[in-house]
Structure 1
Amino acid sequence: MTQTPQIDTSKPHPARLYDWYLGGKDNYPPDEELGRRLTEFAPVIPVMARMNRAFTLRATRWLAGQGVRQFLDIGTGIPTEPNLHQAAQRLAPEARVVYCDNDPVVLAHAQALLHGTPQGALGYVQADARETSRILDEAAAVLDFGRPVALSLNALLHFLSDEDGAYRLVEELTARLATGSYLVLSHLTPDFHPEEASRKVHEMYRAGGVTMEMRTRERFARFFDGLDIVAPGLVAAEEWHPELGEPVEGQGGVHSGAYVGAARKP
């Protein structure tokens, strides 16, 4: 494995902030400081983060149940049990999974991500999500892009503005996927919260040096242009196949504040 890039601990990073929300230890004072400011304003944020993670695991199990055996997870975050490959390989031991993130802390933990079943295969790409060609080229060492792949971009795109190329990177990634592949997304939205509260959260992220682009349902739906959205459609995270389990402690009465969806490439 290549040498770990130097970690910038001077400002928050989304992966480490998410780790803090989930009660992890792989974060630094700037991550904790922003996390504490945000949760003081909105104490439900850690529960919302767990609800998003629960959706990721449900979606992975659902995809494995549809016969998908290859997964590309971009914006992986710091490992938290169970990981995506564990959910996939529990149902399909031969599943092949590639993770991708740009935070060196995630790279430092990559070995924890790369322990799977003997029948399957795992890989890790250290790259920014916008480096689509590099991600796909390196992932091809593990994945066969001539066959269906489930592409997951969960809790990632709201950290990229339109100007940063959020829509473009989805188009570039899905263009390389075979027919029968799936795109899976979760994304924060202002639609379920008072305008003033959404504006305040947006400003707090920005003040911490983190891009935050919460999108409406209409803007979220644009990511799925040209794809066939599967049931139950574009819904709140807690409404997407709840029968698949993953209960979240403290979820009662809490809204995830995120739209989620999955779509098949025709």
Structure 2
Amino acid sequence: MPELPEVEVTRQSFADRIAGARVTGLRLGLPLRWSLGCEGARLAGQTVLGVRRRGKYLLMDLSEGLLLWHLGMSGSLRFDTTLPAPGKHDHVDLLTDRGVLRLHDPRRFGAVVFALDEDDPVAVKLLGGLGVEPLGLGFDPQAFHAALRKRRAPIKQVLLAGDVVVGVGNIYASEALFAAGIRPTRRAHLLTRPQAQRLHAAVRDVLARALALGGSTLKDFKNAHGESGYFQMDAMVYDRAGLPCRVCGTPIKTLRQGQRSTFYCPQCQKP
């Protein structure tokens, strides 16, 4: 699933090129997770003012409205002046005078949703419950620890929930917890202040490194240039079950938490 680094890498790969473009039309394929929420003709003639990110959402500011793009479980965006005819899994084409922005999504859990602005109930429903941005100035270690003290769920699950800190998905939660030396099953409210501070720093460091490496390509993620990411080559624990820990040599273990696979080192990450 594309996580925060992949979404931000995607944004960076086309935002400058599409800014200022005039929308000429919209092609919709098979239904996605949520409906567009307006007639496609409403977008024609509008100007793309810019593209921002909030958590795992891309916010495309238009001259009259806002498009929220979500990549779902398997989605990717491609932007180019010429693209081949839409394939089986190409479900949205935003046509502009600078090229086509295409959403490719084999599993159709992604979406493109129109809202008048961020105060529109449609946007509030999608964005209103998101936590603080982990790479922004608002991600404060003291506030992070205070929020964790209110949560009794396992720390891995709290990170994934997205209401304390947004965008730390399965890959990067496992990696950050390893870097901080914290077992994924430890209850969030039991983390000491030093542990929370280590985890805070680890989240920022892991996400920053992932951005620098273009995100992770485990199956088919590509940015809007069609390029893969390489963070998975440096992963310390994720998807390494049974392999020796890169630090201590102990075999990496895996367990299921909330339907997701968690990877950890039983020696480096104490209970």
Q: TM-score range by the shorter chain?
A: under 0.3
Q: Which has the higher helix share?
A: 1
Larger radius of gyration: 2
Q: Scaled by the length of structure 1, what TM-score is found? A: 0.25
Bigger relative CO (Cα 8 Å, ≥ 6 apart)? 1
Q: Which has the higher strand share?
A: 2
What TM-score does the superposition give when structure 2 sets the normalisation length?
Answer: 0.25
